Structure 1
Amino acid sequence: MKNHPHKPRLCILTTVSISIKSFCLDQIRALQQAGFDVTVICAPDPELPKQLPEGVDYRAVEFSRVISPFKDIKAVVSLLRIFRRKQFDIVQYSTPKASLLAAIAARLARIPHRLYLLWGLYYMGVQGMGRVVLKVFEKIICRLSTEILPISMDMVDFAKSQGLVGKTKCSVILNGSACGVDLSFYNPDRWAASRDEVRKQWGISADAIVIGTVARLTGDKGINELVGAFDNLSQRYPNLVLLLVGTQEQKDRLGDQTMQTIQSHPRIKTTGWQTNPAPFYAAMDIFCLPTYREGFGEVNLEAQAMGLPVVSTDVIGPRESVEQGRTGFLVSPQSQDALLEPLTVLIESPECRRKMGQEGRKRVENMFERNKLIQAMLNHRLSLLSSSVR
């Protein structure tokens, strides 16, 4: 860095601001402390500048989340102007639409380091012609990028098997994850009082066994299967409660039977989206994310950091965020029946819940602590500058 001709300039792009708020703020602070001039680009959000660290240059660009040729060309032109004006050393992008348009504009602007943070493959949840088109987009992003940084080890192998990654360098930072876990924040001792507070607020008794999830309430998060499994188990365990922390979306809506069960079952509690899920983790005894597809499963890590055993699915991401038999259980996706056995084991054994929760916390401390991941990310970005100077 000492030999770099100017203060290094780095740009972070995502389609919408929630990705910046959820995954990037601590990374931005670390980059600034290391001497980087940081710019953030995403769809307009008047609240985002208030949350960004002082000195960050925020640029709003309209990104359409669907294919819209006119709007997409307009966005590429806007990005190209910004890139040429700012002359970034590094541009990093994540989320599908922002990545496609940023990769095109960054290549046209001859940005030397174009990093694709591969957090997931959206086309895997799409069928028909839409899947073909979205896979082509992924190939374009990968071809235009100088380096691919998948979120998990499995994602590296899968991207190669899908023909997305050829000669382009492809590697995982540290042990994976989008941002690691802030262990001082996700600390069960810090939120111990919230257990009773949340339960009281949502009408959950102190002696209830609470299965919970923190996710979008959509089909591909396995909510249909989770609700079905709970409905079955609740008939055997009268003190069992399901806590759903999240909201429905217009796409991939829950099935009619699932919605009817959620609305009619007296022991299913839906809280809506929560900006701070930590108090809700504190109110749970078992965490369950029966997702169909996932980049990594950050909520699995958060839940383990909060001392919870986790039941998730044996798919890319969760199989790295959960250690089978030690910190939780991994089951086949899209199967209500597959959830029944591990949930039953955890419901009936407080000792199993306690031991797996302890092991989960230890594993997150050893492998996914946020400061360690940020330092590894920072070392990677600095190494890119060193290679440019040479």
Structure 2
Amino acid sequence: MESPKFKLVAITTVAVSMKAFYEGQFEAFNRAGFETFAICAEDSEVSNFLPPETKFIPVNFTRLVTPLKDIKLLWQLVGIFRKYNFDIVQYSTPKAALLGAIASFYTRVPIRIYLLWGLYYEGQHGVKRAILKFFEKVICFFSTRILPDSREMISYIQQQGVTKGAKCGMIYNGSACAIDTEEFEPVKWSQSGEQLKSKLGIPKDGIVIGLFCRLTGDKGVNEMMTAFQRISQERPNVYLLVVGREEQKDRLPSGTMDVINNHHRVFRLGWQETLLPCYAALDIFCLPSYREGFPQSLIEAQAMGVAVVTTNIVGARETIVNNQTGLLVEPKNSQTLYAALKKLLDNSQLRKEFAKNGRERVVKMFGRKEFLQAMVTHHLNLLKN
């Protein structure tokens, strides 16, 4: 008689988060004998990235604060958890994590895992910051295991009084889902990168900087545009490739959006099914964020052999080795960002050296196969204990 499978459900607020950060996880747990489930807001894309063995349960979360609707969603989750009797619930992103933690505790799910990909209260102020920090404490309190995606975040949340260290751990060397380094391979995509540059009208000797992120203030977009305007006045062969959507609740100033939409050497692309040709077109990747967990885009860029510039903040600085694979700058400072970009623009050999070192480090430390094996082993050990 076949022994019953362990049941694991993963929860995110929206489908795009699950698609971006759960790549390969469901397949790995299915191969290990788990019965897997996915919960997020319904989206036409869900069926395109979930394996057929994984059951999708739609719950119409929103990112906005909607108290009455959220209470209904909480009870919907309670009903789902009672129906399926899960062994493991793992949740991430603010709304899904809060409701998932409360509902799984209430229904006595034995293993409740918080995949902590960043602290939403960072960058907020006053009452809003206090409320969001309280929500983080609630999530951590109701969780049996907390898995930040960076080593530094483990000590940081303890210093912040969000949780105690006994619950905390990290999978492999960190990140949300590591990197498929065979797919993220510079030579494989070099022709696609050249074709993209040609399509955009960027000359072969043009130097391309990339900014791939949500277009919000806390991603450092204002500082990036300020620095690029100065660079563009000094260097006619430098271009900026921007990929990202605007956020309704954190709109950028009109001056910043004017540069993004109207500067003749800024190319803004819409939704991209894959960013690989975009990375392949770059000479420098930049993420001047104010707050991060462990930015996936930074290790993706390095896997693609691109020199990087990012801010000296928790999580982001763990993705690079300063002055070996990239450069760290102060957050909220367009002058230091400009200086770092100028340093790389002035020295093509340094860019090549950083690119080579970055690729080697990602292959060594952030391979997806090793990451997924470590995650499956971690979860099986929790079930044994």
For Structure 1 versus Structure 2, the TM-score category normalised by the shorter chain is over 0.9
CA contact (8 A) 1:43 1:61 kept: yes
* Partner residue in 2 for 1:17: 15
Secondary structure of the residue aligned to 1:39 is strand
CA contact (8 A) 2:23 2:177 kept: no
- Extract unaligned runs of 5+ from structure 1: none
* Partner residue in 2 for 1:187: 185
* Partner residue in 1 for 2:131: 133
1:281 aligns with 2:279: yes
Secondary structure of the residue aligned to 1:189 is helix
TM-score by length of 1: 0.96
The structural deviation recorded for 1:272 is 2.2
Secondary structure of the residue aligned to 2:53 is coil
Question: Of 143, 147, 151, which residue of structure 2 is paired with 1:149?
Answer: 147
Give the letter for the 2:353 counterpart.
K
* Partner residue in 2 for 1:347: 345
* Partner residue in 2 for 1:65: 63
CA contact (8 A) 1:9 1:90 kept: yes
Q: Deviations for 1:362-390, whole angstroms, at most 9, x for unmatched residues?
A: 00001111111111101101101111xxx
CA contact (8 A) 1:246 1:274 kept: no
* Partner residue in 2 for 1:164: 162
Give the letter for the 1:274 counterpart.
Q
Which shows bigger deviation, 320-329 or 247-256? 247-256
The structural deviation recorded for 1:82 is 1.2
Counterpart-to-counterpart distance in 1, 2:40 and 2:379: 21
Q: Deviations for 1:284-343, whole angstroms, at most 9, x for unmatched residues?
A: 111111011111111000000010000000001111011101000000000100112221
Counterpart-to-counterpart distance in 2, 1:282 and 1:32: 32
Counterpart-to-counterpart distance in 2, 1:364 and 1:108: 40
The structural deviation recorded for 1:246 is 1.4
CA contact (8 A) 1:11 1:39 kept: yes
Q: Could you say if the C-alpha distance between residues 163 and 243 of structure 1 is closer, same or farther in structure 2, counting changes exceeding 3 Å?
A: same
Which shows bigger deviation, 329-338 or 126-135? 126-135
1:37 aligns with 2:35: yes
Secondary structure of the residue aligned to 1:210 is strand
The structural deviation recorded for 1:51 is 2.5
* Partner residue in 2 for 1:291: 289
Secondary structure of the residue aligned to 1:273 is coil
Give the letter for the 2:168 counterpart.
C
CA contact (8 A) 2:154 2:165 kept: no
Which shows bigger deviation, 263-272 or 361-370? 263-272
CA contact (8 A) 1:146 1:168 kept: no
The structural deviation recorded for 1:167 is 6.0
Counterpart-to-counterpart distance in 1, 2:174 and 2:160: 20
Counterpart-to-counterpart distance in 2, 1:347 and 1:95: 36
Question: Of 87, 90, 109, which residue of structure 2 is paired with 1:89?
Answer: 87
Secondary structure of the residue aligned to 1:340 is helix
Counterpart-to-counterpart distance in 2, 1:355 and 1:267: 26
1:313 aligns with 2:316: no
The structural deviation recorded for 1:185 is 1.2
Give the letter for the 1:73 counterpart.
I
CA contact (8 A) 2:158 2:165 kept: no
Counterpart-to-counterpart distance in 2, 1:15 and 1:224: 27
The structural deviation recorded for 1:45 is 1.6
- Extract unaligned runs of 5+ from structure 2: none
Secondary structure of the residue aligned to 1:312 is strand
Secondary structure of the residue aligned to 2:188 is coil
Counterpart-to-counterpart distance in 2, 1:275 and 1:219: 24
Counterpart-to-counterpart distance in 2, 1:272 and 1:46: 18
Calculate percent identity across the aligned residue pairs: 47
Q: Deviations for 1:70-99, whole angstroms, at most 9, x for unmatched residues?
A: 211111111111111111111000001101
| Count of matched residue pairs | 385
TM-score by length of 2: 0.97
The structural deviation recorded for 1:275 is 2.1
Counterpart-to-counterpart distance in 1, 2:262 and 2:20: 33
Counterpart-to-counterpart distance in 2, 1:94 and 1:385: 20
CA contact (8 A) 2:15 2:45 kept: no
Which shows bigger deviation, 187-196 or 111-120? 187-196
